[in-house]
Amino acid sequence: MFSLIKNKIASCLSKVRRSNQTISSYIYDVQLLKRVYKRKIPSLRQFFCLPSVLNSVEKFIFFTSLFLFASGLVWGVSRVSQSYGTIVPKVGGKYTEGVLGSPKLINPLFSQLNDVDEDLVKLVYSGLLRYDDERRLVSDLAVRYDVSEDAKEYIFELKQGVKWHDGEVFNSHDVVFTFDLIQDTRVGSPLFVSFQGVTVEALDAYRVKFTLTEPFPAFLSSLTVGILPSHIWNQIPVDQIRLAQRNLQPIGTGPFLFNKLVKNDTGFIYRIELLRFTDYYFTSPYIKEFALEFFSEYEGPSGLVNAMREQKIDGVNFVPFEYREKIKRKHTVLHTLQLPQYTALFFNLNHVLVQEKDVRAALGNAMDKERIVQDVLENEAKIINGPILEGFPGYDENLKYERASVDDANILLDTYFDRVSADEYRSILKERRVTELFEVQKAELKLQQQTEVVPAEAEIEASADEAPVEATHVIDTSSIDIQALETQADIELDEVLNSAQLFYRYPKGGDDKTAIMKIKLVTAATPEYAKVSEIIVGYWQDVGILVEVRLVDPRDMAREVLKTREYDVLLYGVIIGSDPDQYPFWHSDQVKYPGLNLSGYVQRGVDDILNSIRETSDPEKLNTLYIDLQKNILVDIPAVFLYTPTYTYALTDKIHGFTALRIAHPADRFAQVTEWYIHTKRVWKK
């Protein structure tokens, strides 16, 4: 027994000695590895070998711990980033805006005549002053300005270090050069009137003085016009500036620089691409590429609406009310902006038909403005009764709208015109037309008989010495179908006469009942104006007026209509802008193109008021003058004021930073374009 116990103890001691030797060997191996590799943390290669070393339990514990550690790390970084970081705009991205129309002269001297040109000028050029997104006048190329006590001298200090897009340096000589061109009659700038009699001189490289003959409080608003680079334009003869190719390859100091112009096979400019100007004197834009794409129509497969819905473009410059529902989609945002604009019917006072004030009053009384706003504009406009809009001096919120009265209109018109019923008028016209058609066919029969060939045998039998006898031809008209002529006349009259018109008017005491009063109404060929003109035709038919409507392509309005003044009545939208000055629209100096006195209105009392407004800075006196101005205009009725619309602008929701609510001109939607952005990044808060 003792011997057995002794053997087991010996065996146990042997195992312990072997175990100690193994542990000592392991410790020695680990120390040897440490001396060789000199690192305690496993390498990436060793880490990937773990699955082959660990058993299943060890694997579960290790990877669960690793997952919890990584999740906690991500959560912690996210919490710290949210607490101490912020999202900011990042440079990059492309934006393409669809625009109805096409560019003609991308030049601030002429761009007022074309909204597309105005848009591009806003992006490429800069003025001494500019309007911000709240319609406030702020500095741009100017640092500051001083006005003399008599308000006749303005001295501007210019920013230094400003560069043109071609790298040249901007200075006061560019400013003087620009305004000298405006004042040169050979250039033909529509801005000529605004700066007539103004002296501009450079005091040094970065100071400019404007001297006025008379005080003009609204003068500062004129200085938002873009400045031209003298080193480019002084190489072009003055009388050729309007024709220069440079008008389509602009160089300015604005936030975007011209990159390229793209034409189709017919020569139509359908796209202009701009690039971010990295040397812009304010903060450079975030959007890297900015393009305007031009369309000739809203509807159709190649129209603006379809392009927006298919996401080929990122915005639409103006969305008429009738297309708003069509343009809406998941990622489109419609911005409704306040625009100082009104639509009116301007009577051409140089045309006899509308020279009588009572006639103009009758035409105004016959119309229901409320129905126009409800049926055509779907209440997305406000009825107005005068040229002074809300928010401007002289605005009268109590100026009431008198509802349409056809009876009152007819009473006024009966003083100057007699009536002829539609049936009688048609009967007279039909009788005349049948007679004309009969005479035409009679003449054809006569010609046919005269050209008949006499048989050769009859000529042989004729005596050679017999005196010629002139034959008398009696034209047989029995073959003419009178009933067919009457049918043809009815068809022709059906095409030109509206069955809804019950009577017509001709001059009082006149003998010719067909010398009816017919008015030529001209307007732009837009869906809005086409529908408004259609309703107006109906109103004027109710008082016996025949209306001929002419729809003109909006791109041709300036050349074909405003320049020629070929209309009796013009349905047109006028943009007042931020300056309340009504001089361009009602002063007698502006009756000829490019002036905007579209009625040819000449009233010396109104001229005096407008001149006084330009010489007055006292707010109370200005308010009184504008009230008097509106009263005079409403008494004389050179126009019928209809409504002031809203301006709807469509943008994709990828565009951020658009904050405008009130704009003076459509191009002012780009007032804060440098703050628009597409991409973002997160940075640490300061």
How far is residue 328's CA from residue 56's CA, in Å, rounded to a whole number?
58
Q: How many CB atoms neighbour CB 669 within 10 A?
A: 24
Taking Cα atoms as reference points, which of 208, 203, 204 lies closest to residue 227? Answer: 208
SS3 for 359-386, per residue?
HHHHHHHCCCHHHHHHHHCCCCEEECCC
Express each pLDDT in 498-509 by its tens digit.
888 999 999 998
Alpha helices in 310-371 (DSSP H): 324-327, 357-365, 369-371
pTM: 0.66
CA distance to 48, 551, 632, per residue, from 561 (Å): 82, 10, 26
pLDDT value at residue 2: 46
**Domains of the chain by residue range:** 36-89, 91-125+254-336+652-686, 126-246, 341-404+516-645
Element (H, E) at 155: strand 153-158
Check residue 586 and report its DSSP letter.
Answer: H
pLDDT value at residue 226: 96
pLDDT value at residue 461: 53
pLDDT at 319 over 70: yes
CATH entry 3.90.76.10 includes domain 126-246: yes
Where does the pLDDT of residue 675 fall: very low under 50, low under 70, confident under 90, or very high at 90 and above?
A: very high
DSSP per-residue string spanning 203-264: EETTEEEEE-SS--GGGGGGGGSPPPPHHHHTTS-GGGGGG-GGGGS---SSSEEEEEEEE-
Question: φ, ψ for residue 547 (rounded to 5)?
Answer: -120, 130
Taking the domain 341-404+516-645, which CATH number applies? 3.10.105.10
Question: Cα 212 from chain centroid?
Answer: 33
How far is residue 405's CA from residue 401's CA, in Å, rounded to a whole number?
12
How far is residue 289's CA from residue 276's CA, in Å, rounded to a whole number?
6
pLDDT at 197 over 50: yes
Per the CB < 8 A criterion, the answer to whether 521 and 315 are in contact is no
Q: Strand 341-347's sheet: what is its strand order?
A: 381-383, 639-645, 341-347, 569-575, 518-524, 546-552
Per the CB < 8 A criterion, the answer to whether 94 and 288 are in contact is yes
Per the CB < 8 A criterion, the answer to whether 147 and 153 are in contact is yes
pLDDT at 5 over 70: no
- Average pLDDT score over the chain: 86
Express each pLDDT in 577-588 by its tens digit.
777 889 889 999
Lowest mean pLDDT among 58-67, 300-309, 335-344, 554-563: 58-67
DSSP per-residue string spanning 10-77: HHHHHHHHHHHHHHHHHHHHHHHHHHHH--SSPPHHHHHTHHHHS-HHHHHHHHHHHHHHHHHHHHHH
How far is residue 175's CA from residue 158's CA, in Å, rounded to a whole number?
10
DSSP per-residue string spanning 655-679: -B-----B-SSGGGGGTTGGG-BSE
How far is residue 646's CA from residue 340's CA, in Å, rounded to a whole number?
9
pLDDT value at residue 63: 77
Assign 145 to helix, strand or coil.
Answer: strand
Where does the pLDDT of residue 446 fall: very low under 50, low under 70, confident under 90, or very high at 90 and above?
A: confident
How far is residue 587's CA from residue 569's CA, in Å, rounded to a whole number?
19
Assign 162 to helix, strand or coil.
Answer: coil
Element (H, E) at 142: strand 142-147
How far is residue 567's CA from residue 599's CA, in Å, rounded to a whole number?
10
> Is the link from the previous residue into 527 a cis peptide, with omega within 30 of 0?
no
Where does the pLDDT of residue 154 fall: very low under 50, low under 70, confident under 90, or very high at 90 and above?
A: very high
Q: What is the mean pLDDT of residues 203-226?
A: 91
pLDDT at 55 over 80: no
pLDDT at 421 over 60: yes
CATH entry 3.40.50.300 includes domain 91-125+254-336+652-686: no
Retrieve residue 587's tokens. Answer: 């002063």
Per the CB < 8 A criterion, the answer to whether 678 and 93 are in contact is yes
Express each pLDDT in 526-573 by its tens digit.
888 999 999 999 999 999 999 999 999 987 888 899 999 999 999 999
How far is residue 186's CA from residue 241's CA, in Å, rounded to a whole number?
9
pLDDT at 453 over 80: no
Angle between helices 604-614 and 619-636 (to 10 degrees): 160
267: left (phi over 0), alpha (psi -120 to 50) or beta: left
CA distance to 44, 72, 73, 414, 606, per residue, from 60 (Å): 19, 18, 20, 103, 93
Taking Cα atoms as reference points, which of 192, 114, 167, 25 lies closest to residue 666? Answer: 114
Q: How many CB atoms neighbour CB 60 within 10 A?
A: 11
Burial status of residue 298 (CB atoms within 10 A of its CB: 0-12, 13-18, 19 or more): buried
Express each pLDDT in 11-39 by its tens digit.
554 554 555 555 566 566 656 656 655 55
Where does the pLDDT of residue 420 fall: very low under 50, low under 70, confident under 90, or very high at 90 and above?
A: very high
